Amino acid sequence: MIKDPEKKYIPAQSIPLKDRTWPDKTLSAPPVWCSVDLRDGNQALVTPMGLEDKLAFFEMLCSIGFKQVEVGFPASSATERDFVRALIEGGHIPDDVTIQVLTPARGDLIEQTFDSLRGAKRAAVHLYNNISPVHRRVVFETDLKGVKDMAVSSAELIAKLAAGMPETEFTFEYSPEGFSATPVDDSVEVCSAVMKAFGASPEKKVVIDLPATVECLPPNVYADAVEYFCRKLPDRDCAVISVHPHNDRGTAVSSAELALLAGAERVEGTLFGNGERTGNVDIVTLALNMLSRGVDPGLDFSDLPAIKRLYESKTRMRVAERQPYSGLFAFTAFSGSHQDAIYKGMRYREEHGEAVWDIPYLAIDPTDVGRRYDDLVRINSQSGKGGAAFILETQFGFTLPRAMRPEFGALVQKLSEESGAEIEPQAVYDLFEETYIKINSPYRLASYSFDDKAVGAGGSQVAFSGKLYYNDIEYDISGSGNGPIDAFFNAISDLTISRYHFVSYSEHAVSSGSDSRAAAYIQLETPDGGSVFGVGLSHNIYLASIRGIISAINRGVALRSVANTPRRTF
């Protein structure tokens, strides 16, 4: 790294605003949104979109709910102009959507821009020129008056040309490009003059866009600049204040949020932040940040995966795995403690019927943006008991008892450590099935029957009879009790089952309808004082319970590495 960076880079300058009000405000309503994907975003692509791709993208933007879409820079190339004409002549523009086109402060290009808009019902003309001191000195070789005259004369031409096209309802917008690198009083002076040239009034407001063309201010200073500008601008009621943050510092979303608190009413940005250099403000993130705080953003991202797929297809850009809300892993936890907290939070919300979303580690409900709960937990060596239990419950319908989760979680973690890679959900279930359900030795139930018996004083008993195999040895067993578990224990009492003690039982339905099955979880205390779980699965809840007991005993034998006769090992 260089030494003494303050000698090379200009420190951020503070704004003279001692009584700023934006820190005490909260966002309670969305801004006016303007997508610039088809202009600012498109020009930043390695391979810009063709006509058909742009049409598909435009239709998607309209379906999301954008009412203002900047569709191009028609004076820059025939391709840009052809797209604007295709939108107008092809009838692709919904009645409630305004297309916006960009033009620099040059008379010949402004005339070409208006020519491209003939026949449009409604259009916004976005004028810009860079007024920053470095541009005045290096690019234009002029002073503040020079760049102001350039902007004013262009605004006057735009107003004249618009008056000559009464069939189109025009909106005017002006961007003092380089706002973030310009003294705010200079921006106020130029913008005020441009508004007068446009003929701004409370009935016909001019959009004044304040771009962080290169994001060179911390978000708080950018917000100060916006609030200062709003205070100083004459005829503030004749303007709609817009912001267009870029992301050079990586804080475009923060800059936009604070600018809205500071008085901005409109935001220009792109889906997923595509744009020059490090991009524009990410409208998806900005809008869903609002949603997470209970503010309806006015845009529909309920099928975000579909939006992401079309975006990636048309732009040939990739949404990063950790992109907020939209990335592949945006809602995914690998950490065991995170998985456990998510699992408990989801269970608590369901059990208590809570309407408010307040789940650990999840800012919003993934299903609100079209994601599945399956995405929440993925298993690797960092995962724990909660993750394995969550996968079994959400993807396979098995709700493990709380006491069983550490036991199974340890088995999953061992499998993950041995593989050195992520464990897919199916592998988690396969391990569960092989460990608890398909363990059929050394004990196996060959046949069975149950009989509910009525007894005195309003009680009832269950009688059990069947054949139990220990390897190849067959035993006829029978017994009765106040339930299937008690009946089975009594049936095998002659096999000295007293060395295993019943600890707990739970059951639930795994599926619904005619194919409904029951899962029974049995916890036993082993002869050496340890604990072991078994799982039984059957359409008959009685049989599921018995299978769970046999599963637990078989696991107890396997864990103790003992293979004796039933009379000696039970």
pLDDT classification of 568: cutoffs 50, 70, 90: very low
What domains sit in the chain, N to C, each tagged with a CATH number?
Answer: 31-315 (3.20.20.70), 336-435 (no CATH), 443-569 (3.30.160.270)
Say what the pTM is: 0.81
H or E element that contains 310:
helix 304-315
Check whether 332 has a pLDDT greater than 90.
no
| pLDDT on residue 117 | 98
pLDDT classification of 349: cutoffs 50, 70, 90: very high
Q: Return left, alpha or beta for 471; rule: phi > 0 is left, psi -120 to 50 is alpha, else beta.
A: left
Q: Which residues make beta-bridge pairs with 245?
A: 212
Contact 539, 517 (CB under 8 A): yes
**Rounded average pLDDT over 78-99:** 97
Closest C-alpha to 395, from 433, 427, 436, 425? 425
Contact 179, 212 (CB under 8 A): yes
| pLDDT on residue 423 | 82
Tell me how far apart the alpha carbons of residues 338 and 383 are, in angstroms, rounded to a whole number: 9
Give the 3-state secondary structure of 355-382: CCCCECCECCCHHHHCCCHHHCECECCC
Check whether 202 has a pLDDT greater than 50.
yes
**Rounded average pLDDT over 410-422:** 84
Check whether 454 has a pLDDT greater than 90.
no
| pLDDT on residue 455 | 58
| pLDDT on residue 562 | 41
What are the angstrom distances between the C-alpha of 97 and each of 71, 93, 400? 12, 6, 52
Tell me how far apart the alpha carbons of residues 252 and 247 are, in angstroms, rounded to a whole number: 5
Tell me how far apart the alpha carbons of residues 310 and 304 are, in angstroms, rounded to a whole number: 10
Q: What percent of the chain has pLDDT over 90?
A: 70
Tell me how far apart the alpha carbons of residues 504 and 404 are, in angstroms, rounded to a whole number: 11
Instruction: Return the residue matching tokens 């599945």.
Output: 372
Q: Which amino acid is at 180?
A: S
Minimum mean pLDDT range among 120-134, 159-173, 284-298, 437-451: 437-451
pLDDT digits (tens, 9 = 90+) for 397-408: 999 998 998 889
Minimum mean pLDDT range among 8-22, 91-105, 410-424: 410-424
| pLDDT on residue 560 | 72
Contacts (Cβ under 8 Å, ≥6 apart) of 283: 33, 35, 267, 269, 270, 271, 299
Check whether 383 has a pLDDT greater than 80.
no
